[in-house]
Structure 1
Amino acid sequence: MNQQTHYFFAIKIPEETKLMMKKNSEQLKELFPFNRWVHHQDLHITLAFLGNAPSEKLSIAVENVLEALRDTKGFFLEMNKLGTFGKVDSPRIFWVDTKASTELHGVRKKVFTACREAGFQLETRPFKPHITLARKWAGDQQFHIELLDSWNAVQPEPLRFKVNEVVLYQTHLDKTPKYEVKTSYHLE
């Protein structure tokens, strides 16, 4: 069966941070019974989801993003708190967000605009930067929002990382990890 592939631009999480998040996720799994946990190599912050992109449009987006990010400086982000998307009692997505960052929003705006100018129809909901950790609540009991406070127990020290790379990922649903870097943009 030939599965469609998807593309998206994202903040690449540094390797050391991915390894810390892998350790944290192992502890979180004991508290949060979700069906599918994201492989630590697939952790990222999505900037613009392109979907099944025609190669010509994708090439234009790649060039537009390169131009848009020219002279963009790297910056630091800090993990903030756990959260969910979906129903309160059985969430669809489990994530950790980052503290507010004007630099992150600036990079997202540059990438988003560059992709729209390449002809992509993009998500219109407000940008909520997050790193997806797991999907589909599988607990016997309803999800309790108070559990989200467990981040401080799992990660007592601030988890801070340097953002110095934006990447174009291609999704391979039949592989683990499932995201392949197609193009990388280094932030100075």
Structure 2
Amino acid sequence: MSEHTESSASLRLFVALPLPRELRDALAGWSRDKLRKTFPMEKWVHPEDYHLTLKFLGGTPADRMPAVREALALVAAGTAPFGLALDGLGTFGRPGLPAVLWAGVRAAERSGTGAWSGLADRRRQAAASGGGPDANGRAQPSGSAPPSAPAPLARLAEAVEAALVPLGYPAEPRAYRPHVTLARRWSAPHAPDRALLAAPPPAALSAPWAADRLVLYRSRLGQAPMYEPLAEFLFGNRDSG
């Protein structure tokens, strides 16, 4: 585990899986060269801020940080790395005025050579109408809901929830729907072309990666990048914490 010393009285925190550098770079390039021309959103996420949220903690007193770190270290120690890959685009919010553009995720499996490969049964996004995401990354009925979390990711989210409930962080009642937020607030007078959401991403964005750590992030409103990693916890590391 590595950590950042923080002296603020209260921190706005969340727990997430980071994306590997090469994937963040590829996603930033796709957003810059293609998505921004197709989806006129007001605010695009800084590439350093791409992540998969597992649990939003909100305002946390500094004196609770040691207990939070210990709980996350125990979860990470009991988790084995698993494979994930990005899987298409979707939106939250009204179909004609989406609030969020996101990329979904799917499971990946380890091949005989040890490399990660995408599962063949890719689940496509379904259209709906209504609200938007909550702070934990759990989708309310909305423009197009992300698919259910791959089993290892769902188990990890449940373990994080269970570890933090005794520390005063209530469990989230909604189903966990993992996604990577790319942009916010549709700015065009016309509704988006829903067919554009089905366009396949570049090959570099379909490459699976190994999720191998939890990161505890601090939100710094008004800054770019907005999310500062305070501590990370490697999976299977019994010495963390």
TM-score calculated relative to the size of structure 1:
0.90
Offset at residue 58 of structure 1 (A): 3.5
Q: Which residue of 2 aligns with 1:127?
A: 176
> Identity over the aligned pairs, expressed in percent?
29
The amino acid across from 2:59 in the alignment is: N
Q: Which residue of 1 aligns with 2:87?
A: 80
8 Å Cα contact 1:166-1:184 kept in structure 2: yes
SS in 1 for 2:85: strand
Q: Which residue of 2 aligns with 1:34?
A: 41
Q: Which residue of 1 aligns with 2:225?
A: 177
Q: Which residue of 2 aligns with 1:155?
A: 202
Q: Which residue of 2 aligns with 1:110?
A: 159
Q: Distance in 1 between matches of 2:51 and 2:57?
A: 15
Offset at residue 56 of structure 1 (A): 3.2
Q: Distance in 2 between matches of 1:116 and 1:81?
A: 32
Offset at residue 122 of structure 1 (A): 4.4
Offset at residue 114 of structure 1 (A): 1.1
Q: Give 1:50's match in structure 2, choosing from 48, 57, 66.
A: 57
Q: How does 1:7-22 map to 2 (within 5 A)?
A: 7-22=13-28
SS in 1 for 2:60: coil
Q: Which residue of 2 aligns with 1:90?
A: 97
Aligned residues: 183
Q: Answer with 1 or 2: which has the greater Rg.
A: 2
TM-score calculated relative to the size of structure 2:
0.71
User: Are 1:23 and 2:23 an aligned pair?
Assistant: no
For structure 2, the residue ranges without an aligned partner over 5 or more in a row are 1-9, 108-149, 237-241
Offset at residue 74 of structure 1 (A): 1.0
8 Å Cα contact 2:76-2:213 kept in structure 1: no
Deviations 1:95-132 (A, max 9, x none): 00111521111111111111112111243221000000
4+ residue runs of structure 1 moved beyond 4 angstroms?
none
8 Å Cα contact 2:11-2:61 kept in structure 1: no
